[in-house]
Amino acid sequence: MSGGTDAVEKRGYRLNYREEGVFLVVYPFEECGKIVGVAELFDLVKRKNIDNYDSEKIIEAVEKDIGKEVKIAPPQEEYKIDAHIKIIISHHKMRASIIIEPPDGGEMLSSEQIINALENENIVFGIDHETVDTISRYPVYGQEIEVAHGSDPVNGENAKMQYHFKLSKNTVPKILDDGKVDFRQLDLIDNVHAGDVLITVIPPTAGTPGKNVYGEEIPPISGKPVILPKGKNVKITENGLKLIAAIDGQVIVADRKVNVYSLYEVNGNVDNSTGNINFIGNVVVKGNVLTGFSIEAGGTVEVRGVVEGAVIKAAGDIILHRGMQGLGKGVLITDGNIIAKYIEHSSLTAKGDIKSEAIMHSTVQCGGSLELAGKKGLIVGGATRVGKEVIAKVIGSPMATVTEIEVGLDPSLRERHKELKEEIASMELEIKKAGQAIDLLKKLESMNKLDESKKIILDKSIKTKLFLDNNISVLKDEYLKIIERIEEEGNGKIKVQNTVYPGTKVSIGSSVMFIKENMQYIVFYRDGADIRVGQYVK
């Protein structure tokens, strides 16, 4: 009689049970690729319950008779060892995995035995019966395989705030029949009265509990409450669910707080008669703002005359009905939007949007969109950096004036998105191939046409598929998160409604294009690492 298993042979030795006795063969190193120690063999004969074994013969088999069959014990029945599993529980009890130790002369565990072993360890929830059945029929030894997964709790939704005023104003000026832009009637002020509700709170929800692999309930995280953004001249109701105006005035969001401000009016110019203006609320100047003066406001600044080489800073919007001749000294800085008839030789910084009829030889920083509308719709000279998009009729000039326009998002984000897409597609193809190979080999097995070489291929195909299935889920999670970021940040675009002239430098992200000839009615956008040119469509 003979015994032993392939798993034993792979360790460099074999036991043969015959009528003459129990025989040991130790394979040479070049065949097994491993040096077998005497201690390991003694451990083997103990596990196999071999009686009356000859210790000296075991030592000789290792040290002298390599590759030869050596009798180490009298005849006896082989003690067969069935496969057994080690159960591993993740520290948060949400995953249960097993490691299968191979049988030695015995049998592989059935799916029922594996499930019974799990249940004996009180693992009763989220058992993957399909995976258990697969590894029982096509065992993978010595590798950790997940067989149960808990159910994550669904956390409650955070409280939300419902605003009863316009957070983003419609700052598109009216274009008159003659093509001019009316910067006088913008209707941008949100007037409120004392007692008006500004914000209503939608309370948080509790969520839905989950379960770990032991069937224990996992409480969800309840939604978080919100803190109403109480600023100046507003108050919170007793139930804490509403923010209301305390005075008549204009609603302004500044420093993430909702305020109601009154108005400061200058009936003439900002000059020596007024000095510099620093006011907590909104400022309206009915005249001009002369060179060397400044306005700082906690709300909106509206100038109905001309701004010269002055400095204007505002938490709200800056509205210049006639425009700005900055003389190289003009500065506009706002947390909101800038709206001006024209801007020349100035520096502009806006967290929101900028809208004008013409911007010439200026430095522009715009967190939102830049729109050049009206009869001219022109931007020429200087350097312009915009977060979202630029819309203009004309960029640059026929004299090839150097004009820099930059829009876009972090190029490394786009590159990682591309890499993940390719990796996932490649891995899905490999999973498909492995699945097809498994299906074909299983058909051969059902017809008793699966030889030893094909059994090895089947075993490798199943291992490959399990490995790829585990890894592709990680890549897909990262891919979805990147898509969410791209959707949030968007792609920068430059839309030209008429002509862009040579001398213009276009940058989108890390990609750059120099305009060398007149181009008309086009859109610049980024495709991968390149800037593409498409047709402008209204």
Per-residue model confidence (pLDDT) at position 533 = 92
Provide the pLDDT for residue 43.
83
C-beta atoms surrounding 505 within 10 Å: 15
Q: Which residue has the higher pLDDT, 112 or 252?
A: 112
With a cut of 50, say whether residue 115 has pLDDT above it. yes
CA dist., res. 205 & res. 218, Å (int): 16
CA distances to 149, 254, 320 from 299, in Å: 54, 8, 15
Place 241 in a pLDDT band, splitting at 50, 70 and 90. very high
Give every CB contact of residue 396 below 8 A, 6+ residues apart in sequence. 380, 403, 500, 501, 502, 503, 504, 515
Q: Is the pLDDT at 204 greater than 90, yes or no? A: yes
pLDDT tier, 172 (very low <50, low <70, confident <90, very high otherwise): low
Backbone φ and ψ for 435, nearest 5 degrees, come out as -60, -40
Cβ 186 vs Cβ 163: under 8 Å:
no
List pLDDT tens digits, range 479-520: 888 777 655 554 688 999 999 999 999 988 668 899 999 999
Of the chain, the percentage scoring pLDDT greater than 90 comes to: 47
Q: Does the pLDDT of residue 410 top 90, yes or no?
A: no
Under the banding of pLDDT at 50, 70 and 90, the label for residue 462 is confident
pLDDT value at residue 499:
95
Burial of 170 (0-12, 13-18, 19+ CB in 10 A): exposed
Q: Which two tokens stand for residue 427?
A: 């891995």
Q: Is the pLDDT of residue 271 over 90?
A: no
- Residue 476's pLDDT band, with cuts at 50, 70 and 90, is confident
d(Cα 133, Cα 45) in Å, to the nearest integer? 32
pLDDT of residue 106: 78
**Which of residues 387 and 186 earns the better pLDDT score?**
387
Pairing of strands 144-149, 277-279: unpaired
CA–CA distance, 417 with 409 (Å, rounded to integer): 13
Q: How far apart are CA 282 and CA 301, in angstroms?
A: 6
* pLDDT of 39: 86
Angle CA 258–264–268, to nearest 5: 150
User: Using H for helix, E for strand and C for coil, what is the string for 156-174?
Assistant: CCCCEEEECCCCCCCCCCE
Given a cut of 50, whether residue 283 has pLDDT beyond it is: yes
Q: Does the pLDDT of residue 412 top 50, yes or no?
A: no
Rounded CA gap, 46 and 48, in Å? 5
Q: Residue 96, SS3?
A: strand
Q: What is the pLDDT of residue 514?
A: 95
Task: With cut-offs at 50, 70 and 90, classify the pLDDT of residue 40.
Answer: confident
Where residue 323 falls among pLDDT bands split at 50, 70, 90? very high
CA distance 108 to 140: 11
H or E stretch at 522? strand 519-527
Q: How confident is the model at residue 182 (pLDDT cuts 50, 70, 90)?
A: low
